[in-house]
Amino acid sequence: MSIAQALTIAGSDNGGGAGIQADLKTFQELGVYGMTVITAIAAQNTTGVQGVFPITYAGVAQQLDSIGEDFHPHAVKTGMLYSADIIRLVAEKWLHYGWSNLVIDPVMVAKGGAPLLQQEAVHTLVTQLLPHALITSPNVPEAELLTGMSITNMNQREEAARQIVQMGSTYALVKGGHDEGSGMIIDVLYDGEHFHYLENIRVITRHTHGTGCTYSAAITAELAKGSSVMAAVTTARAFIQAAIEDELGIGAGHGPTNHFAYQRRQRGER
């Protein structure tokens, strides 16, 4: 029996809503075997981040080698990489092991505003890792940090997507969840030639912790199973929409999304 395998290189969220915990839940729900390389441990809950404790360079390197020497991930996603040194290390190991289907979720700021990527690491991400990406999936604030431009409308979001592709990513997905001027959320996918728009009804809820991690993990899982980028993004968009709509109501702050929801809907359960 051959099973699709996916690797997430990211931080740990002990509250379970984001980071490697969200990634593994998403991989499992979509029928993909998940593996992890942990870059940092965040002490956090739904009210915020209380501390971030980075894993040593040697610790991350050994984890990457442990995966590369024994496993064969069909897709790899990155989340919180924390530092320029770790970003360079991931790029080196990516090339060394010949992995494919890289999904970059450029995690830079937590939902409550705490920084999750050191400032000097942004340039390293753009120049050393992003050129290997099949798809990069920033939200609007992350796209602003990557491109250095202000994004307040759809034309600017499209321009940001163009710039990200010019940086080397094959596809750019600029998500619209932070654009609160509409009853719809419109995500913009750019393939280097054409724009594609994924629209969903905005859900008014505070339970959106981990949406970016979950969205990109679902893309990664679908790519690992052999889906095209467009098909992977379409399924991932439906996955995160269900996860937001069928809220769990956990925690006093920004609660986690419901990773069970998509497959339960597929089975006709609610």
- Give the SS3 label for residue 93: helix
Catalytic site residue 226?
no
Please give the structure tokens belonging to residue 217.
């993990």
246 phi and psi angles, rounded to 5 deg: -95, 70
Catalytic site residue from 208, 214, 235, 257: 208
Burial 55-93 (b: 16+ CB within 10 A, else e): beeeebbebbeebbeeeebbbbbbbbbbbbebbbbbbeb
210 is catalytic: yes
| Backbone CA torsion sign across 205, 207, 208, 214 | negative
Cα 113 to chain centroid, rounded = 17
* Interacting residues of 214 by C-beta distance below 8 A, sequence separation 6+: 18, 22, 23, 25, 26, 239, 240, 243, 257, 259
- Whether 213 is catalytic: yes
Q: What element of type H or E holds 172? A: strand 171-174
Of 212, 214, 235, 255, which one is the catalytic site residue? Answer: 212
Name the one residue in this structure whose structure tokens are 């609610």. Answer: 270
**CA-wise closest residue to 26 among 45, 8, 47:** 8
Catalytic residue among 211, 214, 220, 257: 211
Contact by Cβ (8 Å): 250, 256: yes
212 is annotated as an active-site residue = yes
Strands (E), 61-132: 75-78, 102-104
39 is catalytic: no
175 is a catalytic site residue = yes
Q: Find the catalytic residue in 34, 46, 213, 214.
A: 213
Positions annotated as catalytic residues are: 175, 208, 210-213
